[in-house]
Amino acid sequence: MLRRTFNALLISAVVFGTAGGIASAEETLKIGVSAPKTGVQSGGAAAVYWPNVQLWVHDLNQKGGIKVDGKQLKIDLVEYDDKSSPEEAVKNIQRLATVDKVDFIISPYTTGINLATAPLIARYGYPQLVATGNANDLRAFIKQWPNSFWLLGKASDLSTGIVGTLKTLRDKGQVGNKVALAYVAEALGLEMIDSAKPAFKEAGFDIVYETSYPIGTQDLSPVISGAKAAKPDAFVAYSYPPDSFALTEQAQIQAFDVNAFYVGVGGALTGYGQRFGKQAEGILSMGGINPDDQAYKSYRESHKKVTGQDTDYWAGAVVYASLEVLAQAIEKAGKERAAVVKAIKSGTFDTVIGKVSFEDNVVKKLWTVGQWRGGVFQGVNGLSVEGAKEPVKKPAWN
């Protein structure tokens, strides 16, 4: 009996599961998205990627949709989980392009998956606005896939931002010459350290300590104690979010006081500021924004209202901006993909991170370093950005 009930349940579940969605009569603009909802990258995606996709669709549909060839079309979002695996991502993009036949695709999450899906996205002619990935040799990619656009700039742009900030601090006499370096032994850390080390040397800094650690390392106390023993004036870590938190924590525990303390990805998260509270004062990190800018302010507010969570001071806004670029380009050029790619290439777009335009498919205006000041993450360095604050010396842990 139980078995029969179970079988009946199972069959109805399968029928329900396979039944096609009811086609709506209204004409919509179909947008596809594939990014991690499970797997190693799902935490990061849940913080900066998915909420912004949700917000963007909400914002557009609320104002009646997107204007395409004279008609107002609402957004119909088709979403898939790539399980943080390139294999799955490739399959999802294929499905979006050939089964769901979406009009446009929101580019995936992380450098690796963006690179793995680039050939496919290019084959179907979709514009690929990469807001969560970067690399050093972008020129080679763009040559191969001229429809890819990079909103985070080159890896070296980001990694050398802190060199400039330290130079500013040194010129003011607030920080000395000795730098301790740490980096995560993964794509990001290696690409960064590769370009950062020569830049530090060229700027006349003395690297007194250098170490790498494997991704996912739980105990980072040896990194901090090693750095502390070298008695540096500044500590720079090209780290991932969990390590950025752990390194900061360890530095406090070991009372490792430097005049400049920098962590990589994750330091610009609102949660980072909340976690460390007053202790965060003066900490430098990758990313940045002008938090006083009106566009960013109202974006931050509606992000909280629509998704229930705070956005960060960097990548989240860039993801949202990349979607704004896509929407504006579609409004300008229509549904024709090639025309939209062309419109993105040559246009200037008004977004939450200011005016965005591409030079050889790469954004040349970007924030590279920010600093926690009174509970807010202020951009202090960037390439041709407006509203950067002066960096200051970090006070001792208190």
Tell me the closest approach of the beta carbon of residue 115 to another protein, in angstroms.
Answer: 4
Q: What are phi and psi of 44, to 5 degrees?
A: -65, -40
Residue 365 CA to residue 150 CA, distance in Å, equals: 11
**In the structure encoding, which two tokens stand for residue 136, read together?**
């050093």
Is residue 293 a contact point for another protein (CB under 8 A)?
A: no
Pick the piece of the chain touching another protein (CB under 8 A) from 53-61, 95-103, 199-207, 323-331: 95-103
Is residue 6 a contact point for another protein (CB under 8 A)?
A: yes
In sequence order, which residues have a C-beta less than 8 Å from that of residue 210 and are 6 or more positions away? 180, 181, 182, 197
Burial track 172-210 (b if 16+ CB lie within 10 A, e otherwise): eebbbebbbbbbbebbbbebbbebbbebbeeeebebbbb
* Residue from 79, 249, 257, 310 in contact with another protein (CB under 8 A): 79
* Residue from 68, 142, 215, 376 in contact with another protein (CB under 8 A): 215
* Residue from 67, 68, 81, 387 in contact with another protein (CB under 8 A): 81
Q: Which of 127, 160, 124 is nearest to 142 (CA)?
A: 127
Q: Which residues pair with 263 in a beta bridge?
A: 285
Tell me the closest approach of the beta carbon of residue 334 to another protein, in angstroms.
Answer: 24
**In the structure encoding, which two tokens stand for residue 301, read together?**
């507010």
* Residue from 70, 204, 214, 374 in contact with another protein (CB under 8 A): 214
Specify the residue, 41 or 322, whose C-beta has the smaller distance to another protein. Answer: 41
Q: Residue 64's CB: how many other CB atoms inside 10 A?
A: 10
Tell me the closest approach of the beta carbon of residue 81 to another protein, in angstroms.
Answer: 5
Pick the piece of the chain touching another protein (CB under 8 A) from 23-31, 55-63, 186-194, 348-356: 186-194
Specify the residue, 119 or 395, whose C-beta has the smaller distance to another protein. Answer: 119
Residue 312 CA to residue 292 CA, distance in Å, equals: 14
* Residue from 53, 106, 115, 130 in contact with another protein (CB under 8 A): 115
Site string for another protein, 129-158 (x = CB under 8 A): ---------------x--------------
Which ranges of 308-362 would DSSP assign to H, the alpha helix? 315-333, 337-346
Is residue 118 a contact point for another protein (CB under 8 A)?
A: yes
Tell me the closest approach of the beta carbon of residue 112 to another protein, in angstroms.
Answer: 5
Is residue 199 a contact point for another protein (CB under 8 A)?
A: no
* Residue from 122, 187, 230, 376 in contact with another protein (CB under 8 A): 187
Tell me the closest approach of the beta carbon of residue 68 to another protein, in angstroms.
Answer: 24
Burial track 328-346 (b if 16+ CB lie within 10 A, e otherwise): bbbeebeeebeebbbbbbe
CA distance readout (Å), 67 to 24, 64, 329: 19, 9, 11
Residue ranges of E strands in the chain: 28-35, 66-68, 71-81, 104-106, 128-130, 148-150, 178-184, 206-213, 234-238, 260-263, 284-286, 348-351, 354-359, 362-363, 366-373, 376-383
Is residue 77 a contact point for another protein (CB under 8 A)?
A: no
Amino acid at 251: A
* Residue from 97, 180, 247, 269 in contact with another protein (CB under 8 A): 97
Site string for another protein, 22-51 (x = CB under 8 A): ---------------xx-x-----------
Residue 115 CA to residue 205 CA, distance in Å, equals: 34
Is residue 307 a contact point for another protein (CB under 8 A)?
A: no
Amino acid at 329: A
Residue 377 CA to residue 396 CA, distance in Å, equals: 18
Tell me the closest approach of the beta carbon of residue 96 to another protein, in angstroms.
Answer: 8
Vertex 328 angle, CA 325 and 334, to 5°: 125
Tell me the closest approach of the beta carbon of residue 153 to another protein, in angstroms.
Answer: 18
Q: Which residues pair with 383 in a beta bridge?
A: 366
Tell me the closest approach of the beta carbon of residue 64 to another protein, in angstroms.
Answer: 26
Is residue 254 a contact point for another protein (CB under 8 A)?
A: no
Interacting residues toward another protein by CB under 8 A? 1-4, 6-7, 10, 17-18, 37-38, 40, 79-81, 83, 85-88, 90-91, 94-95, 97-99, 111-112, 115-116, 118-119, 144, 185-187, 189-191, 193-194, 212, 214-215
